[in-house]
Every structure is written in C-alpha cells, then in structure tokens.
C-alpha cells in the first residue's frame, strides 16, 4: 500500500521514514529516526526528484507506483548522489526503462562509481542555469557544490516557486505523517535535530552554504522540499535565518555550553560550581554534558548554538582526556569558530590539560578566544580556588555583555 502526501495539486511526497536505523552514516544516533524524501510531479511529463535509501526502497517504489497509477515515469532528476537518496536509482530504472535521468556531469560519474548504472542515451547532463520544461512546469538547475557533496545541485520550479533543496534545510527525525513545517511545532520538536543534522553533516562547509543562500535569495521561493525532514511552505525566513547563523558560525544564543571530562567526579563537581555561580548571577541558559556519556553529535550541535563554551577536563597521560580531545578535534574538523571559551583544568600531580586545550583552541581553530581567567584544581576544588572561579564567572558574563 502506498503511503504518500499530496503537496500541491500535482506534486506528491513519495518518500519514507526509517525508524530502524540506529546510526545515520553509521555514526550519528537518530533516536527519532529519519525520513528520506522523494517527490513526484505529475505534469504532461512525470518527473521524480531523487530516490530513497535502500532500507525503504520497497515502500518508496510502492509510493511511486501508487501516484503514477499506470503512467510512465518520464524523468528522474538526481540532485544528490549520496546513497541515502540515490541507492534506489537502479530499482526505479529496472521498473521504468523508459525513464531519462537528469543530473550534472560529476553526479553521473559518482553514480557510475557507486554502481547506479544509467545508459548514456538515458542521460541528460545539465549545468548551472539550465532549464527543462515538462509541461506547465519549468525546472531550473542550480549548482550547490559541497552542500553536502561536490556534485550536489538543487532544482527550482520556476512555475510554482518550489525549491528541491537536496540536503539543505534537512533534518534528522521521522515525519510520522506530518510533512509540512506548519503541521509540527518545529521550534519545540524539530529545531534541535535540524541543528544537529546540519552542524554534523554540512557544518564544515559554511562558505558553500552561504553561496547557495546567496543564489536562493535571488529566487522567489514559496516552498522548500528538502531530502530529509519537513517541507517548508511558510515561515521560510525562520529556517533561512537559522542557516545563516550556522553557516557563518555565529551563535544563535547567548549562553554557555559546559562540557566536562571527569574520572571520579571531582572535575564534574567543579563544573557544577561554575554552573551554579553563573545561574546565581542570572545566566541560566546553560547546557551541561559529560563528554564521556554524551554522543559527540549533540555536543557539536550545542557548540554551534551557544556563544560560550567551558571545557573542564582532567589531565590524562600528561595530556588532554581522550574524549575531550576527540570533541576538540571534531569542532576543528567542522570549522567551528568565533566562540569565547573558559577553561577548568584538573591534575593531581602534573596538571597540563588547561595549557594544551588553550593551545589547541588558539592554534588549530579560527577566532576562538580563550578567557584569561581559568580555574586550576589539584584533585578536587577547595575554597582556595573560589576566587579564580569567581573571576571565570565574571569573565564569562562580562564578555557576554560586550558581545
């Protein structure tokens, strides 16, 4: 049985939810699942926009056939070749040998590499600015390199103002029947997963995302159809504004992400003292996590969200605690920048970690400001460190006022 949603009088969502996959890209936890979106346009010609992951292929094919109702599938537009969207190309073509595939040159090369075989005479190669008419609808093709792979492009329906945005504006989370942004409470239920998806998957490529947003600003966009998560049919400014923050590495909120690495609870207790003192002085926008117990994708997401980070770490093998080092390396890999950072260090006999974390932040990352006032404890916090803790609290709050 097909499970589809009608988006307009001639455009259908024919994707599917996946709640069985534990790790997206075999690395990021998705407790709320994920959707693989595909769209089918019924014009004089029929046009399918992207396919779906292999895991949902059967449902996806039933959806396509259910909407086609015996019609031929004339065209398949491939905006992005990552297998979570392209894996079912061959299955579609086996059922519809009449279909012509439209994509760009690099995308066809990648399809070939992945084994999604499209015969040469069934290919139409497009480039930036090309258009194709399918009846009432004319689609323009816009390059979107590195959002999230180099071959990525987006397709824009000039007739209706619908942007088929590939990975851009996507989110983790299964749809559960509710396809439109105004059918859910996005801010309450989806924003955290949208941020976690963006920052971990595309976060590294902010300048490329800004290029795409620049091109998109020239278009009269009425609806955004991403490859994951809800379709945007109003309040588009809201999600574009979030994307501008994330892509330019500007924090969304004044607040503190406090991440601690603690072996026996003493560094954690010290971090708790900081959090309590911040709250006492009115800064309650605090997110506090154990680096050993929190999947790094959540830490990355909040690092993009908040203006300030506090890293509290024990010294380990005369260096940075491995899980904290992993967090630092991931922030660097994803190009996070422009944050103010406070440091709490702990070492029972050779406390090196504060200096090493400062060195990492200042030498390996861009525009990271480490506050001069840090806290050093030896094994546990005592009254002797209260003054330096108060100085760190004041340093955080004063730098927030200045920002």
Residues that bind ligand FEO (CB under 6 A): 80, 82, 84-85, 148-149, 167, 227-228
Contacts of 156 (CB under 8 A, 6+ apart): 139, 140, 141, 142, 162, 163, 164, 219, 221
Residue closer to ligand FEO by CB (options 79, 160) is: 79
- Minimum distance from CB of 152 to ligand FEO (Å)? 7
- Minimum distance from CB of 55 to ligand FEO (Å)? 13
Residue closer to ligand FEO by CB (options 149, 243) is: 149
Phi-psi label, residue 227: left if phi above 0, alpha if psi -120 to 50, beta otherwise: alpha
Residue closer to ligand FEO by CB (options 170, 251) is: 170
Residue closer to ligand FEO by CB (options 164, 260) is: 164
- Minimum distance from CB of 210 to ligand FEO (Å)? 18
- Minimum distance from CB of 89 to ligand FEO (Å)? 14
Q: How far apart are CA 173 and CA 19, in angstroms?
A: 9
Residue closer to ligand FEO by CB (options 163, 287) is: 163
Contact status, residue 291 vs residue 324, Cβ threshold 8 Å? yes
Give me the residue whose beta carbon is nearest to ligand FEO: 82
- Minimum distance from CB of 6 to ligand FEO (Å)? 23
Q: Say how many CA atoms lie within 13 Å of 32 toward its Cβ.
A: 17
Alpha helix (H) residue ranges in 184-251: 191-201, 206-216, 236-247
Q: Sheet with 75-77: list strands edge to edge.
A: 5-6, 11-13, 39-42, 46-49, 75-77, 100-103, 123-125
Residue closer to ligand FEO by CB (options 149, 249) is: 149
Residue closer to ligand FEO by CB (options 152, 288) is: 152
- Minimum distance from CB of 81 to ligand FEO (Å)? 9
- Minimum distance from CB of 273 to ligand FEO (Å)? 42
Contact status, residue 312 vs residue 285, Cβ threshold 8 Å? no
Q: Kindly provide the residue ranges of all beta strands, DSSP E only, lying in 129-278, ordered along the sequence.
A: 131-133, 138-143, 153-157, 162-164, 223-225, 253-261
Q: How far apart are CA 386 and CA 390, in angstroms?
A: 6
């Amino acid at each position: 049985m097909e499970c589809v949603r009608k988006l307009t009088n001639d455009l259908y969502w024919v994707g599917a939810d996946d709640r069985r996959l534990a790790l997206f890209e075999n690395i990021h936890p998705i407790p709320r699942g994920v959707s693989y979106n595909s769209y089918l346009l019924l014009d004089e010609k029929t046009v399918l926009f992207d396919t779906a992951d292999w895991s949902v292929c059967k449902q996806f094919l039933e959806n396509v056939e259910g909407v086609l109702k015996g019609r031929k599938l004339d065209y398949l537009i491939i905006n992005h070749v990552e297998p979570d969207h392209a894996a079912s190309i061959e299955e579609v073509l086996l059922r519809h040998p009449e279909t012509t595939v439209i994509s760009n040159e690099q995308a066809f090369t990648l399809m070939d590499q992945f084994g999604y075989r499209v015969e040469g005479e069934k290919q139409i190669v497009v480039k930036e600015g090309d258009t194709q008419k399918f009846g009432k609808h004319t689609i323009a093709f816009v390059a979107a390199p590195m959002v999230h792979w180099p071959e990525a492009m987006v397709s824009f329906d000039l007739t209706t103002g619908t942007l088929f945005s590939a990975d851009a504006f996507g989110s983790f989370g299964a749809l559960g029947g509710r396809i439109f942004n105004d059918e859910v409470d996005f801010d309450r239920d989806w924003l955290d997963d949208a941020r976690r998806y963006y920052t971990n998957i595309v976060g590294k490529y902010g300048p490329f995302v800004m290029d795409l947003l620049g091109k998109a600003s020239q278009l009269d966009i009425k609806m955004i159809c991403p490859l994951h998560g809800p379709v945007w049919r109003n309040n588009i400014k809201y999600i574009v504004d979030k994307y501008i923050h994330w892509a330019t590495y500007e924090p969304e909120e004044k607040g503190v992400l406090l991440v601690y690495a603690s072996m026996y609870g003493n560094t954690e207790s010290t971090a708790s003292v900081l959090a309590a003192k911040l709250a006492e002085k009115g800064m309650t926008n605090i997110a506090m996590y154990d680096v050993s117990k929190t999947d790094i994708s959540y830490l990355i997401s909040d690092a993009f969200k908040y203006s300030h980070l506090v890293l509290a770490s024990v010294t380990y093998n005369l260096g940075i605690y491995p899980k904290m080092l992993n967090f630092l390396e991931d922030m660097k890999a994803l190009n996070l920048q422009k944050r103010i950072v406070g440091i709490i260090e702990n070492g029972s006999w050779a406390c090196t970690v504060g200096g090493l974390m400062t060195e990492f932040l200042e030498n390996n990352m861009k525009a990271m400001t480490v506050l001069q006032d840090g806290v050093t404890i030896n094994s546990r916090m005592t009254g002797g460190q209260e003054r330096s803790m108060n100085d760190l609290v004041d340093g955080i709050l004063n730098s927030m006022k200045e920002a």
